A and B are shown apart, each in its own frame.
Chain A
Amino acid sequence: MKLKDVISPFYVWQRAFEKPYTNTKPIDTRPGADAYRGFHVNDIDKCVGCSSCQTICQNHAIDMVTTDKNSMPGDSGLRPRFDYGRCCWCALCVDICPSGSLHMSNEYAWVSDDPDSFRFTPGVDEKPWYQHEQGYHRDPNYNLLKLERAEMDMLSTEEGLKSFDEVVSGYNHEQAIAEADRCIECNICIATCPAHMDIPDYIKAIREQDLEEGLRILYKTNPFSATCGRICTHRCEDDCTISHLGKPLAIRWLKRYIIDQIPAENFARILQDSCEENGKKVAIVGAGPGGMSAAYYLRKQGYRVSVYEANKRAGGMLRYGVPTYRLPDDQLDKDIDYIISLGVTMHYETKVGIDIEFNTILDNNDAVFLSTGLNVPSNLRITGEEHPRVVSGLQVLFDTASGNNPNVGQKVAVIGGGNVAMDAARVSRRFGADVTVLYRRRLEDMPADPEEIKEATEEHCHFVTQAIPVKIVPADNPNQAIIHWGEAEMVDDGKGGRPRPILQDDKMHTETYDTIISAIGQSGDYSFLSESIRNDLSLKWHKFEVDDRQRTRIGNIFIGGDVANEVADAVSAIADGHNAAIGIHQYISEKV
């Protein structure tokens, strides 16, 4: 044994007077590191109650509870409540949070003699650490969510302008799977969708490559999926939870993907819609999306359904209002033909009130569903608008859809900022015209879909905003008209609403056009209804008053679609048709 080995252990005394590294709480405290995973903080105004935190929590530490936040489209109103008896502070909830509302402070000490107090709703229950700057925030470069959309193949603008071929190609298998993978199944979109489609379920079917199940899910709430997969206003995407930090899911295109993959002849085998006759009869006026949707769900219940349609073919505005580069005819037929194949009786070119009296229909059926749509263009209400070169947007679209060239000429002005205006403008571009869109308010005030505005811009439609038409006068050339318009100033209405355009008399312009297309709105034609029925049905702002099941004050009359709902889009009409079918079924069942 060496002497050194005996002496050297006494070296321990060297540290005897060193200050200990521990600290004496509560006299001195040591804050957690900058990125410490401490207690939760939730910005409840940013949170949308999507439950992703609850889904990912591996300890079941999170409950979604009601707070004073109301449920509304895009926000369930629920907020996460943490049980700190179970939480392990792994921060997966923070990492997944698609609204970016959840993070953690660096506070780690919490003393209480009440065990129940450790169950709390961050952001709702007041806690001292909400003010802490430090704490765990997801690093911007670390992302569990996919924020970018799968690429969609589209025709180039030049190609698109050459014909009426469909612009959007639709997803292929890889793109669809990649896009479907982005869904977090939070279910928030279901409430926003007018038809309340089971969106996360059919997206899941895509992921699991069970498209037949996907088709069945689609048809539960929407028999116009090929159509909606193309031209739906997709308000679900506006409220998609992923949109808070990234691009919303392409829900509409995923729906289209399902339909595109399944040939029409397989629908009957997959959907197995049995239509056991129940002996009751329902008539539908108008074969647009609302009417045909009602026909589908009524036929499935076993009703004998007769549809009266003024035009040559079914589809309503979908056929005569939507250009084929957005919705090809064969795709619309895919939807409609399946519905008709279930045994719906179609009466084409039958104008109710002219070819057949409405009361006859009413008397011969157990119930009637009216979904006639808005097909009367509104007037510009300026002098000179009766000039032959002033035509309505609807007329241009109708002619185009019927296979007739609307002959718009070389230089076209479109007045209006809605979807009809955009469609009329883009159709005119395809006929080779230079198009100027005159809109009385600002670009951001346009009621048209942002996509349509974007595509119209790309197709070189020239936008002139804050332009108010004043009068139209004949030009020297009888095939031209001159429009006088004035610049508008946007003036606050003083009530917090959107600013109003006020004409500035000193800033007037004149321009000559081959065609002036007016597309500032449309209304319904109710002349087929007798005076007394019209009074009983109660019209308000040119729309019929109905309840959630499309019931009116007259028991056997149900109304839906653009003539009843405020938003006047296809999917709302489809939803109305579905709800009318439920309402009619309830009404007839109760009557018996």
Chain B
Amino acid sequence: MNLTHDFSPTPEVDLASGKYVKIWHGPQHPGITGNMSLELTLCGDEIVNCKTHVGYLHRGFEKLMERRTYIQNFPLVCRIAVPEPTFNEYLYSAGIEDLAGIEVPELAKWLRCLNLELMRLGSFLMWLGGASGAFGMSTVYQWTVTHRDYILDLFEEMTGARIYHMYISPGGVRAPLPDGFKDRCLMVMKKVEKLLYEVETTVLNNAVFKKRAIGLGVISSDMVDAYGVTGPNQRAAGYARDTRKDSPYLVYEQLDFDVITATGSDAFDRTIVRYQEMHQCVSLIRQMLDRMPTDGAFHTPTPNVLHWKIPAGETYVKAECTRGEYGYYIETDGSEYVRRVHIRGPSYTHAIAVMEKLVIGANIADVAGLMVSLHTYPPEIER
């Protein structure tokens, strides 16, 4: 590891000199993923300084959770990351189960895993649209969001809601799969696969996109650990690290997949990695629909949730979300309330430390593209 990194934020420049102009990129900006803003200092159209500002989405979840019973937190956590609520549901439940010593039935593991992979695909589709949009191809955005809607239709059937599924609850899941779900899901997978090839044609083989994305925002290999980079951002830099493989959870051990990597570590390679991971999602979903048990228990009864006390303890559970390491640190103190919950989202470092570093020297027009290529969700920074 390179021990000579200087991690200090970039120094302030002398605004009075007249050479610089300061602009706000966000919190309302089509190129911003969610509500956050970059305070950019420009010299010409080149960025010399950047500060990430968050707080527009701060809802104090971690504090709220300390005031709610264990079951009451279950419908709350999904709101932490809007495009990917399921990871919160899963990790919260997994953490609680770990601390309370609850074993989840086999079917529930498969259903959870299916839910997570569908969510990953849906989230990637939305991201793919955003990435295309940020590089000027809004048409593709319409396609991908439509296809995400097909997935939301599946969620609606499976969980009873489109966005905030509230499906994975401590102990298992809330309901088995509805009749005929497998066929409908496979049909959607077919549609998505077709779309992916179209996206490959129109975006990944697009001269403009290549021109702009290749070489943009390179995360050097020694930055990865020093900046805590995880997920596709890390894999695009050549690291074959994936929580699903390294510390397998749910049923990933029983599924066939490889960790996808690239070497360029720029906006283009990150897109490629994610693009391939979407194909991987489709494959994983098909494998699961094929292999999962069709009946059996899907929920282990918990103690009475109205006065459920969990012995004092602490745990850290994590999963590979679309952006990287998503984790829940949960500390209990024996009461009916959780003592401390911390939600570790990969965007915390991607959107602040990494972004502030990568954006220096970039062109103002590429900021949106760079940001999208890091795939950041502000709500998981602020929680």
**Direct touching of A and B (C-beta under 8 Å):** yes
A residues with a Cβ closer than 8 A to B are 1-2, 4-6, 8-9, 11-12, 14-15, 20-21, 32-37, 52, 55-56, 58, 88-92, 95-96, 136, 139, 141-146, 181-185, 204, 207
B206: chain A residues within 8 A (beta carbon): 5, 8-9
- Given contacts A37-B160, A88-B164, whether A181 and B299 have CB atoms under 8 Å apart is no
The 25 sampled A-B contact pairs (Cβ below 8 Å) are A6-B207, A9-B202, A9-B203, A9-B208, A12-B202, A21-B146, A21-B149, A21-B150, A34-B178, A35-B159, A37-B160, A37-B166, A56-B306, A58-B68, A58-B69, A58-B72, A90-B166, A92-B75, A95-B174, A96-B305, A96-B306, A143-B301, A145-B304, A181-B307, A184-B304
The prevalent SS among residues of A at the interface is loop
Residue of B72, B159, B304 near A182 (CB, 8 A) is: B304
CB-based contact A141/B161 at 8 Å: no
CB-based contact B161/A37 at 8 Å: yes
Q: How far is the CA of A136 from the CA of B158 in the complex (A)?
A: 11
Verify if B294 is at the interface (C-beta below 8 Å from A). Answer: no
A136: chain B residues within 8 A (beta carbon): 160
Residue of B76, B160, B207, B307 near A1 (CB, 8 A) is: B207
Q: How large is the interface on B (under 10, 10 to 19, 20 to 34, 35 or more residues)?
A: 35 or more
Output the nearest chain B residue to A55 by Cβ-Cβ distance. B306
Q: Mark B149-171, 1 if CB is under 8 A from A, else 0.
A: 11001001101110010100000
CB-based contact A185/B306 at 8 Å: yes
A21: chain B residues within 8 A (beta carbon): 146, 149-150
B203: chain A residues within 8 A (beta carbon): 9
CB-based contact B166/A91 at 8 Å: yes
- Given contacts A5-B205, A5-B207, A141-B297, whether A183 and B174 have CB atoms under 8 Å apart is no
B297 CB to nearest A CB, Å:
7
CB-based contact B304/A183 at 8 Å: yes
CB-based contact B174/A33 at 8 Å: no
- Given contacts A56-B305, A146-B301, whether A90 and B75 have CB atoms under 8 Å apart is yes
CB-based contact A33/B149 at 8 Å: no
Verify if B371 is at the interface (C-beta below 8 Å from A). Answer: no
CB-based contact B304/A88 at 8 Å: no
CB-based contact B307/A207 at 8 Å: yes
In the A-B complex, the 9 residue pairs with the closest CB atoms: A90-B75, A58-B72, A5-B207, A33-B156, A37-B160, A9-B206, A21-B146, A8-B205, A139-B175
B172: chain A residues within 8 A (beta carbon): 142
Residue of B73, B137, B160 near A33 (CB, 8 A) is: B160
A102 CB to nearest B CB, Å:
15
Of A2, A33, A96, most buried by chain B (CB within 10 Å of CB) is: A33
Q: How far is the CA of A288 from the CA of B175 in the complex (A)?
A: 54
A5: chain B residues within 8 A (beta carbon): 205-207, 210
A1: chain B residues within 8 A (beta carbon): 207, 210-211
Verify if B140 is at the interface (C-beta below 8 Å from A). Answer: yes
- Given contacts A9-B206, A34-B157, A37-B161, whether A141 and B143 have CB atoms under 8 Å apart is no
Output the nearest chain B residue to A20 by Cβ-Cβ distance. B146
B175: chain A residues within 8 A (beta carbon): 35, 139, 142
Of A36, A58, A145, A207, most buried by chain B (CB within 10 Å of CB) is: A58
